[in-house]
Structure 1
Amino acid sequence: MDIESDKLPLTPGKIHPRSNEEAFAKMMNPKYRLSRRRQQGTSGGKCFVYVFLFIVLLAAAALIFSIAVLRVERPHVKLTSISVSRLSYIAASPVYTFNASLSVLLAIDNNNFGRYRFEESRATISYDNWTIGGGRIFGDRARAREVDRFNISMDVKSVDGLSSNQNFSSELNSGTVNLNSYAELNGRVRIMKIVNKLKKTVMNCTMSLHLQTRQVHNLICF
């Protein structure tokens, strides 16, 4: 028997499309293209949302910074203590007069995030709208977020017109004289070289001067 005649013919194998042809056919499929569009649209939408959220957070941070840090408030000024270094008075009709030297501690409460540099000014002492004395406030600066204190010397001398004032003569006889103190400060608040704003602050104080004890009581500033 012929050996070669016993061999069976080989069956041709199946031919598979190449990978690039499969990919091209897949891309041309309408369902695949629709799915890709949806995926791209979802990805682009997420990117837009992230950018939008970042802008919102950045704007919120800038707003908080401007409100909390860059906002400028009026510093508060008040007298915290007064000591009498010299006092003399006469309470005998028809002469009613008194002279005094006061050592005053002036406090400036600067609640801003920048220093407050104020100009030279003057604090006055008055009785019943009569200015009877005062002292010089030297120009200086108050630190940021601090309460700085400054020493002031005031001289008080009653004027001639007060001798005929019944309230004044009555208070001298009682041993207690009610006084007022007033001051205005003009200055600028500087914050981080960004803000440079002019601010004016006003001080009004009332007090009672006890002539015999040479002490000041009921000191109230507003």
Structure 2
Amino acid sequence: MYDNKSLHKQQRGSARCFVCVLASFVILCALLLVLASITRVREPRVKIRSATSNHITHHTSPSSSSFNATVFISISIYNPNFDVFAYKNSSVSVLYADVKIGERPISSDKVSIRRMKEINVTVDLRSPDTANLSGDINSGRLNLTSYAKFSGIVRFLKIMNVKQTIQMACAMKLNFTSHVLQDIQCQ
């Protein structure tokens, strides 16, 4: 026959076991919730920090107009993730009236965990054949657009790679008299 005391001890032991398993499950769920909120993959951000020019030449005549310029662009990429953002080869393009007038490649690299990487690019600009060019040169300012696209991956806990593509499009004005890029506005 079973003893009443041993039956009571057995029931208490199984109740404790159930409570321990339930507490372990709750703690595990809480840890997974915290880990998921910390390691959520966010999109890196890219923007122009500064843009300058030290060499601008231009020529205007009634029949044709042209300009040449060398532009120094400082781009920053900020990685808000808790893992590395590795991007492939890319390029920075400068456009005038939707015509590409300069381009410079950017080699592949990595942006560390929660860090900002600064990329300095020198772009040589050559004038296109457009009708509005002489009027813009005579006004002393040229409306330009710079564009860059970075495609890469964020490694998620060394288990999985999440593809990310970030783009930058900035409008700016090239001033022929002061030789600076003004009114830089990025989207």
TM, length-normalised to structure 1: 0.75
Once the 2 structures are TM-superposed, how far is the Cα of residue 46 of structure 1 from its aligned partner?
Answer: 4.4
- Alignment of 1:44 with 2:2, yes or no, is no
By relative contact order (CA 8 Å, sep 6+), the higher-ranking structure is: 2
Secondary structure in structure 2 of the residue aligned to 1:73: coil
Who is 1:187 aligned against?
152
CA distance in 2, matches of 1:171, 1:97: 11
**TM-score, normalising length: structure 2:** 0.88
Q: Does 1:80 align with 2:45?
A: no
Task: Return the offset for 1:96.
Answer: 2.2
* Deviation for aligned residue 1:101: 0.7
Partners of 1:136 and 1:195 in 2: how far apart?
A: 28
- 1:136 & 1:37 partners in 2: Cα distance? 78
User: Residues 137-176 of structure 1 correspond to what in structure 2 (within 5 A)?
Assistant: 137-160=106-129, 162=130, 164-165=131-132, 168-176=133-141
Over the aligned positions, Cα root-mean-square deviation in angstroms equals: 2.1
Mapped to 2, the partners of 1:144 and 1:67 lie a distance apart of 16
Verify: 1:61 aligned to 2:31, yes or no.
Answer: yes
Q: How far is 1:91 from its partner?
A: 3.2
Segments of 5+ residues of structure 2 without an aligned counterpart are: none
Distance 1:218 1:197 in 2: 35
Is 2:103 the counterpart of 1:134?
A: yes
- Show structure 1 runs of 5+ residues with no match: 1-23, 28-32
Aligned match of 1:103: 72
Distance, in Å, in 2 between the alignment partners of 1:150 and 1:142 is 11
Aligned residues: 186
Larger deviation, residues 168-177 vs 120-129: 168-177
What is the aligned partner in structure 2 of residue 15 from structure 1? none
**Structure with greater strand share of residues:** 2
Of Structure 1 and Structure 2, the greater helix share is in: 1
Tell me, in whole angstroms, the C-alpha distance in 1 between the residues paired with 2:58 and 2:20: 79
Which structure 1 residue ranges, 4+ long, deviate > 6 Å from structure 2?
Answer: none
Of 184, 192, 202, which residue of structure 1 is paired with 2:167?
202
